[in-house]
Structure 1
């Protein structure tokens, strides 16, 4: 199954770390310079001054790296082929690797001059790679194309800025959604998807009465922390300080969010120990009725033949909110030192952004507002959760945050959902651990 957020691929897509992070221990340190941010500190010919016109220099080949190894791969391959057909003087050498390998290999390869010229990475990885001088600013590209925050889905534009420079151009936004078994709902007499805590509770009770013993399995691992973050924001909390100084999820909002997740087990809607991927496999096999998972699962579900529906995640807290991430195009420092390569890379990024409606075929949501009005998106399955786009929340642009989250926040969610530790104790302990790591990162990255 395709896991866009920080998982390592298994079967048809990614597993646990293909999407969002790399393992703790400083994979970004290999072959990289110090912790000083690069914004405004370079004097390289290739950076700045992009006109917005299509590249008309000598023919060249760009190394393009990405991690689209799952159901999104064919859609990206088609876009790359279309770009090369329209640009005779730019060819692309496409290097597609699993996301975990991508983030592990990128810094050392870039430092050795053997990395990409252009690529795609997750929004929450931009700050780390900018701080490590792996990627270069693209402010001139955004300016030349007239791109601004108002052109994109809410909240996705800001996290692409690190130390006052822009390092990414959003291709998409992706989030988690509620999938439900249409046949189970019909059997239980449920005519509409649940929209809040009360209607979800009523649906689960009706499904149990219809013979579905455990209708809503609650995972204690992936994507449990994405569910927790969504609920935290719904209850009015924030996971981290914007300046990267501390973790802030150990408050009343965090406790409410995590307690609700454990309640689904206590109420009998979920088995007690739902291991990684188990809830999704069970959903495909018709063993449960409702699951929350990423929209990157859409293509896999389409192929499975299950009769399913898709809806926004219910508003359990006080306001609608959902975790979000985004694939962003970047230009590397390697390309930034050569004017032709830099302009060719920016031509590619601009073209891909403009043509991103086709990316809907990958199960993603185009980031640009104008593109979401095109039929490729309006005819897609994910169009059904379009209203959730306005409620997405993204992690702040804090270098090293991915390495912090895995051994802290995810551990807290795991222990509390399993009932090993109370939500308050689990969050307090791990927020303290996370804050210590974040303070160390502030020193390491010089921010």
Structure 2
């Protein structure tokens, strides 16, 4: 379970540049009718002949079972729409999609992370969904503003948000108790965090293992950079800014965790999380997706809360799954209309999806009593108000790899935080310039 979960999640924020470099001859081409608004009424209902729809996704873990059950329920309730689910590991998924679309063998519906939308929109792989939002009367007020805006590229909507998945603060209550800490009061500030780590260290416990890898050290740094008031890029995503003074300060704080003995050096991939489960550390910053895994470990006394505020403001790394409709070499308006009905239906049933370890994008669902009855997952919902989402820019995935690699060098002590981030920014700026040439924006 852990191996499978880790392998798929490791690709959530990588961006997977291979998808961006493939040639998509034929995508978005054809006659003007191919690009016209599809038949139907934007997803309210579908009354045409039966259509068979292919849906691609990367839900290979426990959330995949929940997703498939929801699709089965949809098929039962809609006799004229049959959705078949094809699941790949995320890295294979994003690599396969452009070529499949180009050859006419792509899916009709694709689940896509927010930070992938701009790339696939720029490459002509996915189609606009403004009519869905308009017809269903969906607006920013129905969602968290950051999640809603994340579905836009060049002021046109390409994604209907399903959820958001942030980092959460996991703590081992048993380890805290052994160190004389209150297991029901996890630290929420920098001072409280340092004090707790100091008490843990006195008990011989390195309480907070800093991973040099993207999962989860890189995403922890991503969160802290924003907590210190920094940004990864300028407003136009033309220049990288993750070597600013706030960024260096945030990176230095994490590296000092290692230097001061609160964390071991050279922490292996996922070792920080496994140490939490085995009682070797007390704190772990990790994704909301770990909640269901921990629930399968009754021997572990654990809790989860929003990330502590270490910097001057609250912030947390987050991403979001969006539904998209894939462009076809020969458009079938009935299929497009059926796909929109499915997207709307599943969006409305996002409470059931939340049980898979996600925060529903729809505000009405998040504010409902049934969602609040999921204490661990709903407990991270407040982070939605200050979540740090990736900007909408094509080809950004490759640049994010550079960002995470820069942190890796600092965490492993190969370079000072400033040198590592300076070198990373220099490389990132060249990548951003290449992306402007590649995508014409």
TM-score for both structures, normalised by structure 1: 0.93
Q: Which residue in the other structure is 1:6 paired with?
A: none
Is 2:309 the counterpart of 1:315?
yes
Q: In angstroms, what is the RMSD of aligned CA positions?
A: 2.0
Unaligned runs of 5+ in 1: 3-9
Match in the other structure for 2:106: 115
Find out whether 1:175 has 2:166 as its counterpart. Answer: yes
Question: CA shift at 1:43, angstroms?
Answer: 5.6
Inter-CA distance 389–396: structure 2 relative to 1 (3 Å threshold): same
Give 1:194's aligned residue: 187
Corresponding pairs, count: 434
Q: Check conservation: 1:47, 1:137, Cα contact below 8 A.
A: no
Listed as ranges, the gaps of 5+ residues in structure 2 are: none
Could you say if the C-alpha distance between residues 69 and 16 of structure 1 is closer, same or farther in structure 2, counting changes exceeding 3 Å? closer
Match of 2:335 in 1: 341
**Aligned partners of 2:350, 2:397: CA distance in 1, in Å?**
27
Give the distance between the partners of 1:415 and 1:138, measured in 2 at CA: 41
- Cα distance in 2 for residues equivalent to 1:335 and 1:116: 12
Q: Distance in 2 between matches of 1:30 and 1:194?
A: 46
Distance in 1, Cα, partners of 2:287 & 2:210: 15
1:379-436 deviations in Å (ceiling 9; x for gaps) = 2221122222211011110100001221x21111011112221111111111110010
Q: 1:48, 1:138 within 8 Å by CA — same for their partners in 2? A: no
Alpha-carbon distance in structure 2 between the residues aligned to 1:438 and 1:176 = 26
- Residues 68 and 97, structure 1, Cα contact 8 Å, conserved in 2: yes
2:7 alignment partner, SS class: coil
- The range that moved more, 48-57 or 193-202, is 48-57
**CA deviation after TM superposition for structure 1 residue 290, in Å:** 0.7
Instruction: Give the structure 2 partner of residue 392 of structure 1.
Output: 387
Flag the 1:229–1:189 CA change in 2: closer, same or farther, 3 A.
same
**Partner in structure 2 of residue 164 of structure 1:** 155
CA contact (8 A) 2:208 2:284 kept: yes
Distance 1:365 1:83, change over 3 A: same
Q: Does 1:260 align with 2:224?
A: no
Alignment-derived partner of residue 206 in structure 1:
199
Choose which of 214, 237, 244 in structure 2 pairs with 1:244.
237
Which segment is superposed worse, 393-402 or 414-423? 414-423
What SS does the aligned partner of 2:150 have?
Answer: helix
- Choose from 218, 239, 249 the match for 1:225: 218
Q: Does 1:58 align with 2:38?
A: no
Instruction: Give matches, 1:23-172, under 5 Å.
Output: 23-24=16-17, 26-33=18-25, 44-47=35-38, 50-172=41-163
User: Secondary structure at 2:346's aligned position in 1?
Assistant: helix
Matched, 1:216 2:211: no
Q: For the Cα contact (< 8 Å) 2:187–2:196, is it kept in 1?
A: yes
Q: Distance in 2 between matches of 1:226 and 1:336?
A: 41
Q: 1:363 aligns with which of 357, 361, 386?
A: 357
CA gap of 1:350–1:16, structure 2 versus 1, over 3 A, is: closer
Give CA-to-partner distance per residue, 1:6-27, whole Å, 9 cap, x none: xxxx334435643133544x43
Q: Go from structure 1 to structure 2 and tell me whether the alpha carbon gap of 1:56 and 1:13 turns closer, same or farther (over 3 Å shift).
A: farther
Give 2:396's match in structure 1, choosing from 395, 401, 418. 401
